[in-house]
Structure 1
């Protein structure tokens, strides 16, 4: 794997497995992971089991920097956690896959990253077309649970991460160890008390699951992990374990509200709701806070290429579309086409920068040159900043729609649609009219089909004529990615709408 140059602003000297080792020394019996209220694993067990896996990898000849695929599915989080930290302890690089992407895609990605092996879940059948060797965690683990002691630098590559592919083919990027642990060290472990558990409904074998495991090493809370498509189970777990915090996505929020779980389970224990995915419509945010009356809602924005640079904000009904301000040594720039900052309040591309070791696209110097400049990352997202430094996310550049020479935010139109109580899901995209002009189209899932006739009057009161959809489709469901994001290109094809803007 090609090494990338890193500038000397690196301030962390720890890897994720350094921190797991220290956590296991201090709190060996504390539960790190609770899977769906059943199987659990302590920090001590996680450390020992990943040592045994690392030694198994070394015994079969996996070398430092070689790529190992992790293919897991369902709720097999404990073996996945062991496999991931075991790969890192062996000095190798992990790439994360879910068997739902299909055997052909798994083989294609393994070929792309030049993987030598696949470690997979016990119920997963490895793809027949893969040229390397495959094994389960149980088959590969040794009886020796001592630390293998492989030297790993913070500039070594920990992960090859694939984007979700919601706006095009999935792209691969490399993430150094220091990127995972930037701004984190073992000092805070001494301060941990006994906080309430944190619920994390996340899909396995994705970039999100890798992030979840790294987060679990640093958080003082036990992570309770549950399916992403079972709001009833989420309600049960919140009540049973007195969950204090929930990590959520807009899709999860919609499922919880549609299922009306608060009518059957006590959600009053929730103190923090954290949204770290796509923009959360204000109507959905307000409704969440109504059904979890003791909670605050923390919003977060980040681009995968710029992590750990991020924007954070506590939802405020007075500024419902605000995204937040830079956190954790993040720098923010709203840039024009020449890369210079645009005036306050004007629309431009969101650039982010942090002193952490950077993520770079794998073997694509041309793309890296376009995306990265002077340690800034061009996110491809559009936004504007107010005079007091508050960022407002506008849209992704490739999903915003140009109508009559001006850009329209699909995010803003979707937010307006969600203000109708019958709208359960909404997706907005560009359409082409018969005369070649561009317009706005929308698809909605409605609790009451008759409500479609009420939408024009609602939107007329909140949107400009340019923003209003020229056509609204009612659908039974939306095509979604593993993370719950609407796949608008598939939706457009299903509805046979004209080309995107």
Structure 2
């Protein structure tokens, strides 16, 4: 077979495979391209993947010493869906929250909730009680499934918010309702008969922004499934771009190791949801440990890992120590933050069978965006990637929303069926972000004549710590709770392991002093630990301001980093 270019391969598949046929559709008054023949909803992905999972017989979900076949997983989904309808009185449009670490129950619940037309509310498992309070009031979710640590943080809110709390794993026995009892008492194990429109809401995922409080990103079924099939298309064109050698064995069944939280799109969409129609097995880790990951990949023939750059770097170092090359791996991707350019070639050397990849997407885009893999990525380790075809559009715009010439710095804007419906309860923020169907991402970059996108900066005041977005205003708001803090500015500090760490400069009241240990202790319970500053600078004079008399965060950051470098 003669190798095709990626563009030729996409055109060939679109012309010959009805699964990936596209059409123009109207979504909220905007005409976009969308897949014509794919499942219309997220729960419909379960049935779409049945044959690929050995008609339900193949092992699908593994967690420590637990394994579920695809049929067992599907039965658990439908039983829980009926239990929520019959025992909890939940129905179409109701928002149901999930607050837990990466347990199998989380995956079951996502599909169970969406199976009866409910809306999944993903709660960050690292949030404090105060942060959970905000999200639960914002989402109006009344039923929350929680494990032990999250239950501890939710119980103080139960009476105030009139919450129905259902215990999962170590959260069972804390309230009158438990996950296992509900599932076992279900009256049916077949799919609920509910009409769900493809443009109905599927989920609310919270994404940190520049306004302090996180914004609830409302995703639709259409958005999620179009993202899933855009990634599935990549696996279909791969053998057309790089044809296998004659007589080569069939590629192994895809198998993914989930190493990032399932309350973020990096894990839910291109790993969990994609695994359904792709026929892939899913393995969950209780907690990230690089050497454990090496052993899991080696012993279970895992083919795919997608995490933050820190994790692939740590995996590489652990594999070197253990003398492993992990030949089953065909994909090692990074999202959530930019991978250091020098690391690309190093990863390719340690894992010669794997395609080293990078990707960029947002909660607001159902994680779909741009990416690059293999030799293309090794040759251009500084770029963010090319647009994943075929339903997206991308352009670089100026402040007025006009497209700028290739090579010109501007804001990245994307359009397609995968764009969020809105920010929950924030019409003004929605109107500012989505204009005529184009999502203004807040990321600044350039587009060259060959379609490669380079991301150079952020308009948004966000720190990306190990792939976790942290709003600077969120950190500053918590710092201002301290009676001795007059002003505060939070900003990213370069970090070799995490990419960025949280730094802060504060103006203190005259005569007061503050150490990093003291502010860390003060913020405990007010701010999630991953948001707490690990670098602190203090002064008794006002912070640097710009021409409009606003605090100049960039100038403050530069001055603090200069001081830090001078000490070194």
TM class, shorter-length = 0.7 to 0.9
1:42 maps to what in 2? 69
User: Which residue number in structure 1 is paired with residue 92 of structure 2?
Assistant: 64
CA distance in 1, matches of 2:147, 2:276: 22
Partners of 1:51 and 1:488 lie apart in 2 by 37
Matched, 1:151 2:195: yes
Residue equivalent to 1:249: 308
8 Å Cα contact 2:77/2:112 also seen in 1: yes
Counterpart CA distance in 2 for 1:359 and 1:286 is: 39
In the alignment, what sits opposite 1:104? 130
**How far apart, in 2, do the equivalents of 1:371 and 1:441 lie?**
23
Q: CA deviation at 1:269?
A: 2.6
Q: What is the rounded CA distance, in whole Å, between the counterparts of 2:426 and 2:211 in structure 1?
A: 19
Give the aligned partner of residue 54 of structure 1: 81
Q: Deviations over 1:394-414 (max 9, x none)?
A: 1212359xxxxxxxxx99xx9
- The 1-side partners of 2:209 and 2:181 are apart by 33
Counterpart of 2:322?
A: 263
State the SS of the aligned residue for 1:182: helix
Q: Distance in 1 between matches of 2:210 and 2:530?
A: 6
Out of 122, 126, 133, which is 2:164 matched to? 133
Aligned twin of 2:386: 325
Match of residue 471 from structure 1: none
SS at match of 1:317: helix
Change (3 A) 1:121 1:227: closer
Q: C-alpha separation between the residues in 1 aligned to 2:268 and 2:320?
A: 28
- Residue of structure 2 equivalent to 1:373: 435
In 2 relative to 1, CA 124–298 (structure 1 residues): closer, same or farther, beyond 3 Å?
Answer: same
Shift of 1:222: 0.9
CA 1:336–1:272: 2 relative to 1, 3 Å:
same
SS in 1 for 2:312: helix
CA distance in 1, matches of 2:268, 2:327: 29
**DSSP 3-state at the match of 1:127:** helix
- Write out per-residue CA displacement over residues 42-78 of structure 1, whole angstroms, 9 at most, x where no aligned residue: 22112111111111111121121011111112x42x1
Q: 1:358 to 1:254 in 2, by over 3 A?
A: same
Output one character per residue of 1:111-160: Cα deviation in whole Å (capped at 9) or x when no partner.
11011211223775243313121223213221421222111111111101
Deviation of 1:13 (Å): 4.8
Q: Indicate the SS of the match to 1:52.
A: helix
Q: 1:277 to 1:441 in 2, by over 3 A?
A: closer
Following the alignment from structure 1 to structure 2, what is the Cα–Cα distance between the partners of residues 8 and 370? 19
Note the alpha carbon deviations across 1:26-53, whole angstroms, 9 max, x for none: 62112222224x2122221121111111
Alpha-carbon separation, structure 2, partners of 1:235 and 1:381: 34
**What's the CA shift for 1:262?**
5.0
- Aligned equivalents of 2:202 and 2:136: distance in 1? 16
Query: What's 1:500 paired with?
Result: 553
What is the CA deviation profile of residues 412-434 of structure 1, one whole-angstrom value per residue up to 9, with x for unaligned ones?
Answer: xx9xxxxxxxxxxxxxx9xxxxx
Q: Which runs of 4+ in 1 moved over 6 A?
A: 486-489
1:172 aligns with 2:234: no
Distance 2:227 2:214 in 1: 28
With over 3 angstroms needed to count, the CA separation of the structure-2 counterparts of 1:81 and 1:445, relative to structure 1, is: closer
C-alpha deviation, 1:7, in angstroms: 4.1
Query: How far apart, CA to CA, are the structure 1 residues paired with 2:448 and 2:531?
Result: 30
Instruction: Assess, with a 3 A threshold, how the Cα gap between structure 1 residues 496 and 231 changes in structure 2: closer, same or farther.
Output: farther
**Residues 255-334 of structure 1 aligned to structure 2 (within 5 Å):** 255-261=314-320, 263-307=322-366, 309-314=368-373, 315-328=376-389, 329-334=391-396
Secondary structure of the residue aligned to 1:53 is helix
Aligned to 2:5: none
**Structure 1 position 33 matched with structure 2 position 91:** no
1:201 is matched with 259
**Matched residue SS, 2:199:** coil
Q: Structure 1 residue 443: deviation in Å? A: 4.4
CA deviation profile, 1:460-490 (whole Å, cap 9, x unmatched):
xxxxxxxxxxxxxxxxxxxxxxxxxx97883
> Any unmatched runs of 5+ in structure 2?
1-26, 167-177, 237-249, 466-471, 473-490, 498-528, 544-551, 555-568
Q: Distance in 2 between matches of 1:319 and 1:124?
A: 42
Residues 394/323 of structure 1: CA separation in 2 closer, same or farther (3 Å cut): same
CA distance in 1, matches of 2:142, 2:352: 50
Instruction: Name 1:456's counterpart in structure 2.
Output: none
How much has 1:348 moved relative to structure 2? 0.5
Alpha carbon RMSD of aligned pairs, Å? 3.5
Q: Give the direction of change, closer, same or farther, for the CA distance of 1:241–1:377 in structure 2 (3 Å limit).
A: same
Q: Is the 2:49–2:278 Cα contact (8 Å) retained in structure 1?
A: no
Aligned to 1:477: none
Q: Which has the larger share of helix?
A: 2
In the comparison of the two structures, how many residue pairs are matched? Answer: 423
- Give the structure-1-normalised TM-score: 0.75
